[in-house]
Amino acid sequence: MLGLYRDNWYNPSGILSECATGIYFGFIPTSKGDFSKATKTIEKDHGLVQTQARNYLCGQMAIGDPMTQYFLDELRRRTERLYLVVYEGTNVDATVHPTEADLFIKRTRSVQDLTQDPEADWTTTITLEDIKNDIRLRKTSMYDPTVVDSWQFIIIDREVGMPFDLIDIVQDTLLMLAGDPSPRRIAKRVVSEVIPPSVQDMFMEEMSIECSADMRFPAPPEVQYEGHRYRHHSPDRNAILTYQKRTATEIRSRDSNRFIRRVVDDMERCGIVSLVQEYEEPQTRPIIMQGSDGALDLYFPYDHSDKTSMIPELPLPTPNCLLDFARAFKQQNPDGIMAKGSIQTHYCAWPMPFIKSLGNIGLTFASWEGHIYRWNAMRKFSSPWYLLSGPIANHTTAFDRPWSANAWQYYIQHCINSRYPFVMFYLTTFVICAVDRADADDKAAMLLEETEDRGWRVVLPRSSEWKSDIDDLKLNTLYEGVKPA
C-alpha cells in the first residue's frame, strides 16, 4: 500500500522523517502532540497555575497487512503505559479499540495553594474528542484513499509529563514483531521492494547504515526457564534493593526489555502469571540480575514494610532441622537408611495455594514496556483443607512476595511433615527415612503418590542409592536454586 498510495501519504514537511523505521513496517505517522514540557506549575496573579498534559501520536496502518493486527494486539496489552484508540476506514463511528470517553490531553487549573486546595476543578483545554474530530475530518475526505484502507491509531501516554517516547515505542514494537531484524536486513528489504533489481547491489554498497548500539547485535533468544531453571528463593533483600535503586534512572535497553518479555512470556505460557486486561496500578517491576552460573534472572522487589500480613506463628525452622531429623531417626533405627531429595518449584514461585490470612493475594507487576501481570492460580490443591487456618485461594506464591518462604514452610509442614513421620521438608530440600530397602520402596511410593496428587515434581534417589551414614547426605548443603552472582 505504501508504494501504491505514496502521493497521498508522503509529506516531506511532516513528521515522517522522525519515524523512518515505522514507515518501513507500514506505520505512517500523521500528527503528534509533544507536551513533554507542558506539565508544570507556575506562579501567576498571587496564585499558582497548574498544567497537566499527555503526549499523543496519530498514525495509520493498512487493514490488510497482518502486521497491523499484531501491532494493535501488542499495544492494547500495554495498559500500564498507554491509552489506545483505533478507528477503521471511513466509518466515523467505527471503533476497533476504544478507551475512556472523557480522557483529557491537556488541562489547567488555578489555585492559591496546592496543599490547601488539592481538589480544585480543572479546565480541559484539549480533549481526546478534539483529536478524534481531526481524524474524522480526514476520514471524510474521500479523495485520500489511504484512509479507506487503513486503521487510524491514536496512541496516548497514560501518565502526564512523560518525555515524548511514543515514536520510539512504535518503532521498537514493530521491530520486535518483525523478529528484531538487523538494520542491514531492513535496508535490504526496502531496497528489494522499491529499487529496480539492476541497481540494487549498487544501492546496498553505497548505503551508509547508522544504528543504535542495541541494534548492532541480535536480540536475546527465547528462554524456557519454567521447568528447566530454578531461581534462588531467598536472596539478600538489601542487595536487591540496592541494585534496584542504582538502576532506577537508567534507560532500559532493548535487550533488557526483550529478556524480561521472554521470561514472562514463558511464565504466562505455563500458567504462572496472567496478563491483566484492564489497568490497575502495579505493585512492582522486575529487575534483571546475573546468577551465580552466569545466566540472567528476574527478581520482583515487592514492598516488605507491611508486617501486619505476617502471622507470628509462622517462623522458619533452623536450617539444620533436617540434620536433627535424620539424627533422631538414626537414634531410633540404627540400621535405617535415608535419602536427600528436592522439590522442583516453579522458576520463581512456590507451588502452593495462597493463604489469604497472610495478606494481599492479588500481587501484580508491570513490565517496563507497560504490560501488567498477576500471579496466577496454577497447581491443583487436594485435601485436607482443614489443616490450614483461614480461607484459601488456589494460587502460586511468588518467591519475592513478603514472607513467602515462611508461608510455604507453614503449608508444607501441615500438608506433608505432620502427616508423614518418615519425611521432613525444609523449603526445597527434604529427607526421607526407612528401616530397610523394602520399606524405602514403600515410603518412596507413598511420598511420590502424595506429591503427584498435588501436582508437584520431586527428585528422589532410587532406594538402592539411599544412605545409612548421615554424613553421606551432606545436609549442610541444601537445594536453593541459582543465587545472584
Listed by start position, the domains of the chain span 6-178, 181-216, 310-357+379-473
Looking only at the bridges linking them, the beta strands covering 47-53 and 40-44 are antiparallel
> Which segment, 43-52, 186-195, 209-218, 351-360, is predicted with the most confidence on average?
43-52
pLDDT in tens, 326-342: 999 999 999 999 999 99
- Name the residue with higher pLDDT: 226 or 98: 226
pLDDT of residue 189: 82
With b for 16 or more beta-carbon neighbours within 10 A and e for fewer, the 150-180 pattern comes to bbbbbbbbbebbbebebbebbbbbbbbebeb
Q: In this predicted model, which residue has the larger pLDDT, 356 or 324?
A: 324
**Residue 54 grid cell:** 499527555
Q: What is the pLDDT of residue 200?
A: 81
Q: What is the pLDDT of residue 352?
A: 83
Span 279-319, pLDDT tens digits = 999 999 999 999 999 999 999 999 877 554 545 456 789 98
- Taking the C-alpha atoms of residue 289 and residue 484, their distance in angstroms, rounded to an integer, is 7
Q: Which three cell numbers stand for residue 38?
A: 507542558
Give DSSP secondary structure letters for 228-250: T--B-SS--HHHHHHHHHHHTTS
Pick the range with the lowest mean pLDDT from 150-154, 283-287, 442-446.
Answer: 150-154
Q: Over 90: is that where the pLDDT of 96 sits?
A: no
Q: Is the pLDDT assigned to residue 188 strictly greater than 90?
A: no
More confident residue, 172 or 304: 172
pLDDT surpassing 50 at residue 4: no
310-357+379-473 CATH pick, 3.30.70, 3.10.350, 3.40.50, 3.40.1000: 3.30.70
Give the per-residue pLDDT at 380. 38
Q: Which residue has the cell 490488510?
A: 64
User: Mean per-residue pLDDT for 54-77?
Assistant: 94
Q: What is the pLDDT of residue 177?
A: 95
SS3 426: strand
What is the C-alpha to C-alpha distance for residues 417 and 412, in angstroms, rounded to an integer? 7
What is the structure's pLDDT at 11? 60
Phi, psi for residue 331 in degrees, rounded to 5: -65, -35
Q: How do residues 452-468 score in pLDDT, each as one tens digit?
A: 988 899 999 999 999 99
- pLDDT, position 313: 57
Most confidently modeled range among 81-95, 184-198, 341-355, 366-380: 341-355
Q: What is the pLDDT of residue 341?
A: 96
Average pLDDT for 202-214 = 73
pLDDT band at 5 (very low <50, low <70, confident <90, very high): very low
Angle of helix 66-76 relative to helix 166-177, nearest 10 degrees, comes to 120
Per-residue pLDDT at 390: 35
Minimum mean pLDDT range among 204-218, 366-380, 416-430? 204-218
* pLDDT score of 95 more than 90: no
Q: Could you give the C-alpha distances from 20 to 4, 16, 17, 66, in angstroms and in order?
A: 18, 6, 6, 20
pLDDT digits (tens, 9 = 90+) for 380-431: 333 333 333 333 334 578 899 888 898 899 889 989 999 999 999 999 999 9
Residue type, 123: T
Mean pLDDT of the chain: 84
| pLDDT level of residue 175 (50, 70, 90 thresholds) | very high
Provide the pLDDT for residue 263: 96
| Residue 436 pLDDT level (bands cut at 50, 70, 90) | very high
Q: Percentage helix, strand, coil, to 5, in the chain?
A: 35, 20, 45
pLDDT band, residue 355 (cuts 50/70/90): low
- Beta strand spans in 112-184 (E): 123-127, 150-157
pLDDT of 261 > 90? The answer is yes
* Of residues 433, 460, 438, the one with CA closest to residue 449: 460
* Residue-level pLDDT at 358: 54
Q: How many angstroms separate the CA atoms of 387 and 385, rounded? A: 5
